[in-house]
Every structure is written in structure tokens, then in C-alpha cells.
Structure 1
Amino acid sequence: MPLLRFDPSGSINADFGVTEEQIAGLSGILGELRTEIVEIDPKQYQSGQVPANKQPLDARFFWLPEEQLAAYEADRGASELGRIFQVANGIHNELDAVAVLGIGGSYMGARAMMEACCDPYHNELTRGDRGSKPRMYFEGNNVDNDASNALLHRLNTGGYGATEAEKRFAIVVISKSGGTMETAVAFRQFLASLETSLGEQAAEQLGRFVIPVTGSSGKLHELASAIGCEQVFSVPEGVGGRFSVLSPVGLMPAAMLGLDCMKLLEGAVAMNEHFKNAAYQENVVLQYVAVNHLLAKHRNKSIRVMSVWSKALEAVGLWHDQLLAESNGKDGLGVTPLTTVNTRDLHSRHQQHQQGRNDKVFNNLIVENYRTDPLSVGHSGRNQDLLDDLADRTLPAIMGAAIKGTNDALHQDGRPTTDILLPGVDTYVLGQLFQMLMIATVVEGRLLGVNPYGQPGVEQYKQNMNKNLGRG
């Protein structure tokens, strides 16, 4: 199966970008960092002998895909992946909607997979057109009164038919500790609504329709026991929230949507093998890090724009925003990530990007092959729109012209670009992309001299919020 590709040619320019010599100059240090991630981190993590400057060492995400596939191969239904499949396949005939409650890395990966791989209007399709897979909604990522009320109402309204299943919903609640305010509050509210909706069956059924993904201890783990949840899945030790998309955190919602989780993990394994074995010049992870790091260091490109050329990948960009910002935005260092969706945002942000402050690099995320047949402009008996000359052109062809035209315009103004080329959009390619960006983030953090794991700056707002609520 094809691997995604990285083309940095739009940044190889002595006047406004980087040079081949500069990229080659990083081969030594990046090779050392590759060895650290592949060989040293696993040994330190597994032995518990972690140097102070590397604590926390949440490095397990790197070998987790292989670990989960091996466990499934050995134990099938007894493995955690096997249990995920059993729950997802066993429950979808009994319900029509799922509320995924989580914040940050606890939901952004699942949302990215849904938007990338499902029909764009999945939640509006009939149950039959969804293949009996549930509608899926995401909450617990805010404390927005109107949004929470609206979703509670929507879930209690039921589906688009009159079957018993279309009257029911389930909750997937994701939190390692259960102590995150936004998710904990939402869980209390949505749990009460679910319990009411089950009526006389609540005592017997509530534990079946609440699926926690949490740590081995903590508030949510205790709540799961009190509720009597039939299945509790783990947020793996040694995996930080923003690195957890390929764990049960992302796999449980993905499996409920009927997405191919095996291919997702296999794609991540393929990227791991590429990262470990590909020569520096062909290594997409190391080349991506080298170009972006050099642009930040030598060209002051402090804003890193992921220009997504597919609406389906917007949530992937937002997932990456959190990954990069929370990992490397420390000690006064790190770039600011920003996601744009084109061609939509060519009519909003692009004016500033083209002629405003020249402090950005544009990493284009481009889909080479679409899932559906190309849609042509079409012939019409009315040419007041002056489109007859384009009647036989397709939307992918117009998109290609827009991509080239935008890159050319940016280069003409001395603004660097790169292209991440996806052979298509499916779980295998997404697994590659997730793993590539996670590894690249760790490599770059180490190159900057910061620990890419942990997020001490996030704790301050939590402490202040609790203080403002009179909770000490």
C-alpha cells in the first residue's frame, strides 16, 4: 500500500526558504534523535530509569500500534482491541446515537477520523443509509450552556425512524483521571439524561450504555464501578492525551462508526517502519522536521499554517494544532500552529497570508485521489455565468489549479510552502499521517531543547478556575 509523500520544493530557495546544504547539515543531529526515539526512549520508559530532563516520558505512543496489533493477533477477543470490536459490533443494533464526552486529545482524534472517513452528512443520514452505525456527537469539550442543552434535546428526540433502537443513545466518556472540569460536568448531565431515557430499564441497562475510557484509578474509574459499567477501556500508561488517538481513546469511537481500526494501526506501523529505516534524504518525518525547523530558526517563520485542501481534513488540522502547540510551546519557544481550509479560506485569511507579515510557512495537506467520482462543472443552456469553457472540467481539476496558483502566488511574494501528499483518505493513510505528525512533534521538541511531553502551562487556568468557583 502506498505511503504518503512529502515535497519540500516550495521551501528550497536561497532567497526566502532554506537550502539543500542547510537540510543536509541537520542529518547528524536528526539521526541521533531518531535513535533516541527508536532505541533509547523505550529502554528508559520500560526500565523506569528516566532522566529528570525527560520526565514525563510519555513515549509509549510510538510502539503502541505494534503492541496492540500483536496483542490482538495473540489473544483476539481477550485483547483490548478485541473487546473494542465486541462492544462496537454488539451494541450498534441497540442504539442510534453516541455522545463522546472528552476534551483536547480525548476527543479531537476521534472527531478527526469521523470527519475524514465518514459521509460529511453522516448524522443526517437515515439509519439504513448509515448501515445501522450510530450518529455521533462530541461534547464535554466546553462549558457552553446552549450547546449542551441543544445536544441533550437532540439525543432525547431520537432518530429518524420509529424503531426501538432509534430511541436510545450511549455515552463514551474519555478522561484519564475523570477530574477535568468540562468533561466531568458534561458526564454528570448526560448521564442523568441517559438514565431518565432508559426509564424502568435504567437499573439493568445503564452500565451497558456507558462506555468509559479512563485510567486504572481516579474519579471516572470509581464512577464506572458505581454505575456498573460492563466494559471499561484504558487510557494506556505512558501515553499523553494528545498522543492517544491510536489507543482506545480514538479506537472506541472509530470502531462504533464502523471504521477499519486494523488498517488505522497498520498505517501507523508502516510510518514507524519508514521512520526507522528510510535514509535521511527520503525520510518524510525527518525532512518535514528539518525544513520547518530551519524556516523557524533562520527565516523567523513563527506561524506554521497547515493548509488543508479538503474540508474532510479540517479536524485533522485542528488535532495537529493541539499536538504541536501543547507539546513544544514551552520555555518561550515553539511555533504557533494554524489550520486553514482551502479554497474556503483563500477568501478570508489569505489576503493577510499573501501580503501581511511574512512570518509563516504553509504546509499544504493535499489529497491526490478522491473517494467519489469527479464531478464536472456541467453543461447548461444558460451561460450568463460564463462557465461554458469549463463545462467539462472537474472539481478535482479546478482544485489542482487552485493549489498550484496559490503556491505560485506565495512563492512570487517570497513565502515558503511544502506539500504533504496523501494518496487518498482512509484509515490506513490517516494512521500514517497521525503517526508522522506525532513523531515529528517529538523530534522537533527535542531539537528545540524542550520536553515535548507534559503540559504544565495548561494547569494554571484549571487552578484559577477552581479558585474562582470557591474550590480552593
Structure 2
Amino acid sequence: MKNRIFFTTDSEKTKRAAFEAIKAEQETIGYYALPDQNIEPIISYTETIPKTVETIAVIGIGGSSLGAKAVYEFIKPVKKLQRKLYFFESTDPINITTLLSEIDLENTHFLVISKSGTTIETFSIYKYIYSLHSDPNAYTFITDPGSPLEQYARSIDASVLHLPENVGGRFSVLSTVGLIPLALCGIDIKALLEGAKMIKESFFNAGYMQNTLLNKAAYYAKYHTQYHINCLFAYSESLKYFCEWYVQLWGESLGKHQRHSAFHVGLTPIGLIGPKDQHSFLQLIMEGTRDKSVTFIKIEDFNDTITIPDVTLLHLESLDTLNGLPFEKLINMQCDSVMEALLNEKDIPIDAIIIPKTDEANMGSLIFYYELLTSLVGELIDVNTYDQPGVEAGKIILKQKLKGK
């Protein structure tokens, strides 16, 4: 994975302080250790699931589902997987009914994921599915040790797995939360972690990623009031759900009160997919208010060689320039053209992430890159990156409403 940055920052003292803070943070924040974990217990667990199980279904929301979904949807188009993976992550009744119509309950294993063990959305869905299929062997529960969910699972003799200590939901994709469903589908979780480890080692051991991430984070922090909207413009449909994961990670981590002031700060994430969003949101970036930065993501090798055929269409002869062009080359030419147009504007900060190919290692690198970037920016804009009091406030009000329903 490469990151080309087209803007500069000169705050060396600030960058060094941020690096030292993140280095120290490894002692208390659990996600930093995930690339180095022993995955043998996870592999052993997956082997206990009967071969007759054809489908894995995650019942969870937010950090309990978005990361695994991002990886699964990235890998699924280019790899023949052992099982299909579904996500029950909404209380939309039509969505629940539609998903249930697509699976065979008797041949599905459900992963019920809730860090707190009391997530309302998760358990409203679980209660409904359990009313249709009450075999405890069809469920595995993933939660914090000692949570109400663990107590419930033990009471019905169902399997329970734990989240690692001090790993928040939106940083949990490389833990049991993401690795279990992905491994059960045949995704190479070892390669996923190896990709994350490459970024970790490069950053903490003064490799290429150290200056790259520090420069980018320092720039975002320095101009966070001017360029307070960060657009991730990914040129592949397979990255759609990665963009959704990024939106949660960025928004929930960085939209806060500052720790040492009364100011509200935050960076607004927007996920875009090229080339289709060239025909919608690009106009706003190009000629709208100068409050947006843009990161492009390109894939060099799509693992697909389909080519535009050598066909001439009457009255459309000018489009013969497309003939013989591989689609993967066309989509990257579209990306490069938009980047060049924005660079010509000179007041829109952009950078590009280049992914060599569609595989687990590169997705692992991309995930850990964004987790590190989030932590660095949070440190530099002086917020607690790992809490979410705004989300908790809404949960409290909902619980009060449910008592009076």
C-alpha cells in the first residue's frame, strides 16, 4: 500500500509529540496489539462449527458489523468463499424480513455481537430470530467478559467468546468481532493481520508510514476548522462498505468536546465511490465551499481483465477511443483525471492511497492505516478518541421511552 500526499506541513515538534503520545497509548488501548495476536484459538473455534452450516449471520450494529462487512464485501468478488455472510444490523422490519427470506435457518450459524451485552438494536433482532429458531447451538455470543449477555448465554449453554481488553467497538474489526465471521467464511485472517502488522511496524519503527501518517494527521489537525469535511473517494464498488466503516470510525472518534477546553470540534467524514459520484458530489468538491479535503483510493490490480470490445457504434464514432481498453485501466484513468482537475484548483488538499491488489493483506493494511490516522488526529485536536458520550446520550433517552411505551 502506498500513500501519495500532495500537501505539506511544517509542524515537526507537533508531529513528534503526537507520535510519542500514540506510542505511550499502546499500554492502555487494546487495538494496537491486535496485529500481533495468536489466532490459533480463533481457528480452533471455527472448526467446531458443523460443515453442514452453509451461512453465517452476524446480529450486531455499528462496530459489531461494519468492519467485518467491509472486509467481506472487498474479498467476496475475487475469491470463492466457503460460506455466505449476512448482517442483521437494522431494526427496519422490511430489512429483517428480506434477510430472513434469503437464508435457511436450519443451516445458519448466528453470531450475536454486543460489547456491552445490552445493545437494544441487537437484542430486538435476536429476540425475533430466536422466536423462530431457538436451538442454542445455532448461536455464538461475542461480548465483554462478565456482561449481561455472557450471563444469558451461559444460562442457555450457548458458546461465548470475548472481546480483547480495551478494544472499542469501532476499532474491533481485527479482533474476534471481525475475525470469527470472516474466518468462518474462508477469508484468510492471517493475511489480514499480516497486512495490518506491516503498517504497524512501518509506523512505530520509523518506516515509510511514520512520516506519511504524521504529515497527514498534522495537516488535518492544523486545518481542522477550515477543511473540516474529509471525503474518502474510493474507485471500486468493492470499497463501498469500507467507506461506511470509515464514516463510523472517523465521525464517532473525532466529533467531541476538546479535553482541555469547552470547544466542540470534529471532522466530518464522507464516503464516495468513483466513478459514479463524479456525476453527483464531485461538483460540490470542485466548485463549492473550500471546506473539504479528498483522499482517493485506487486499486492497481482488480484481478479482472475484461476489456471494452473493438466495436464502432453509428453516430458514436468519437467513442472509439475506448476500444480495447481494460476496464481496470479506464477506472484508474477516471480517478487520475479527477485528481489532476482538483490539483489544478490549488486550494483543495488531496492525497491518494494506492492498493496493489484486491486481497486480505491489503485490506488489513488499509484498516490499520485508518485506525492509526484516527488516533493521531484525535490526539492532535485534543479529544478522547475512544469514547462516544453523544451516542450514549441517545441510548439513555431511548431506554426511558421504552419504559413508558
C-alpha displacement of 1:337: 0.4
Q: Which residue of 2 aligns with 1:428?
A: 361
Q: Residues 37-52 of structure 1 correspond to what in structure 2 (within 5 A)?
A: 37-38=22-23, 40-43=24-27, 45=28
The alignment status of 1:395 with 2:327, answered yes or no, reads yes
What TM-score results when the alignment is normalised by the length of structure 2? 0.92
C-alpha displacement of 1:207: 3.2
Q: Which residue of 1 aligns with 2:284?
A: 352
Give the direction of change, closer, same or farther, for the CA distance of 1:347–1:424 in structure 2 (3 Å limit).
same
For 2:288 and 2:399, the matched residues in 1 are separated by: 40
The alignment status of 1:5 with 2:5, answered yes or no, reads no
The alignment status of 1:249 with 2:177, answered yes or no, reads yes
Q: Residues 53-92 of structure 1 correspond to what in structure 2 (within 5 A)?
A: 59-66=29-36, 68-69=37-38, 81-91=39-49
For 1:188 and 1:375, the matched residues in 2 are separated by: 46
Q: Which residue of 2 aligns with 1:217?
A: 146
The structure richer in strand per residue is 2
Q: Which residue of 2 aligns with 1:34?
A: 19
Q: Contact (CA 8 Å) 1:270, 1:432: kept in 2 or not?
A: yes
C-alpha displacement of 1:450: 0.8
For 2:136 and 2:216, the matched residues in 1 are separated by: 45
Q: Residues 37-186 of structure 1 correspond to what in structure 2 (within 5 A)?
A: 37-38=22-23, 40-43=24-27, 45=28, 59-66=29-36, 68-69=37-38, 81-91=39-49, 93-119=51-77, 130=80, 133-139=82-88, 141-156=89-104, 167-186=106-125
Q: Contact (CA 8 Å) 1:152, 1:193: kept in 2 or not?
A: no
Give the direction of change, closer, same or farther, for the CA distance of 1:390–1:135 in structure 2 (3 Å limit).
same
For 1:90 and 1:225, the matched residues in 2 are separated by: 18
Instruction: Read off the aligned partner of 2:124 and give its amino acid letter.
Output: V
Give the superposed CA RMSD.
2.1
Q: Contact (CA 8 Å) 1:295, 1:361: kept in 2 or not?
A: no
C-alpha displacement of 1:107: 0.5
Give the direction of change, closer, same or farther, for the CA distance of 1:471–1:249 in structure 2 (3 Å limit).
farther
The alignment status of 1:189 with 2:154, answered yes or no, reads no
Q: Which residue of 1 aligns with 2:349?
A: 416
For 2:52 and 2:208, the matched residues in 1 are separated by: 51
What TM-score results when the alignment is normalised by the length of structure 1? 0.80
The count of corresponding residues between Structure 1 and Structure 2 is 397
* Rg larger for: 1
Q: Which residue of 2 aligns with 1:289?
A: 217
Q: Contact (CA 8 Å) 1:8, 1:291: kept in 2 or not?
A: no
1:134-185 per-position Cα deviation (integer Å, ceiling 9, x unaligned) = 221111x2211111122223324x7xxxxxxxx5111011101221100011
Give the direction of change, closer, same or farther, for the CA distance of 1:281–1:101 in structure 2 (3 Å limit).
closer
Instruction: Read off the aligned partner of 2:394 and give its amino acid letter.
Output: Y
1:245-284 per-position Cα deviation (integer Å, ceiling 9, x unaligned) = 1100000111011111111111111111111122689633
For 2:72 and 2:121, the matched residues in 1 are separated by: 22
Q: Which residue of 2 aligns with 1:379?
A: 310
For 1:89 and 1:100, the matched residues in 2 are separated by: 18
Q: Residues 223-238 of structure 1 correspond to what in structure 2 (within 5 A)?
A: 223-229=152-158, 231-238=159-166
For 1:104 and 1:291, the matched residues in 2 are separated by: 28
The alignment status of 1:336 with 2:294, answered yes or no, reads no
Q: Which consecutive residues of structure 2, in runs of 5 or more, have no partner in the other structure?
A: 258-263
For 1:138 and 1:288, the matched residues in 2 are separated by: 33
C-alpha displacement of 1:41: 2.4
Q: Which residue of 1 aligns with 2:294?
A: 362
Q: Contact (CA 8 Å) 2:61, 2:121: kept in 1 or not?
A: yes
Instruction: Read off the aligned partner of 2:300 and give its amino acid letter.
Output: E
Q: Contact (CA 8 Å) 1:235, 1:249: kept in 2 or not?
A: yes
The alignment status of 1:275 with 2:275, answered yes or no, reads no
For 2:344 and 2:321, the matched residues in 1 are separated by: 28
Q: Contact (CA 8 Å) 1:177, 1:217: kept in 2 or not?
A: no
Q: Contact (CA 8 Å) 1:106, 1:175: kept in 2 or not?
A: yes
For 2:117 and 2:26, the matched residues in 1 are separated by: 28
For 1:383 and 1:171, the matched residues in 2 are separated by: 54
Give the direction of change, closer, same or farther, for the CA distance of 1:42–1:278 in structure 2 (3 Å limit).
closer
Give the direction of change, closer, same or farther, for the CA distance of 1:295–1:371 in structure 2 (3 Å limit).
farther
For 2:122 and 2:209, the matched residues in 1 are separated by: 44
Q: Contact (CA 8 Å) 1:281, 1:287: kept in 2 or not?
A: no
The alignment status of 1:264 with 2:182, answered yes or no, reads no
Q: Contact (CA 8 Å) 2:15, 2:215: kept in 1 or not?
A: no
For 1:321 and 1:361, the matched residues in 2 are separated by: 14
SS of the aligned residue for 2:142 comes to: strand
C-alpha displacement of 1:92: 5.7
1:357-386 per-position Cα deviation (integer Å, ceiling 9, x unaligned) = 2210111111122222x2211023644543
1:318-362 per-position Cα deviation (integer Å, ceiling 9, x unaligned) = 111111111110011111000000001111222222222221011
SS of the aligned residue for 1:433 comes to: helix
SS of the aligned residue for 2:166 comes to: coil
Give the direction of change, closer, same or farther, for the CA distance of 1:84–1:191 in structure 2 (3 Å limit).
farther
Q: Contact (CA 8 Å) 1:301, 1:360: kept in 2 or not?
A: yes
Q: Which consecutive residues of structure 1, in runs of 5 or more, have no partner in the other structure?
A: 13-19, 46-58, 70-80, 123-129, 159-166, 196-205
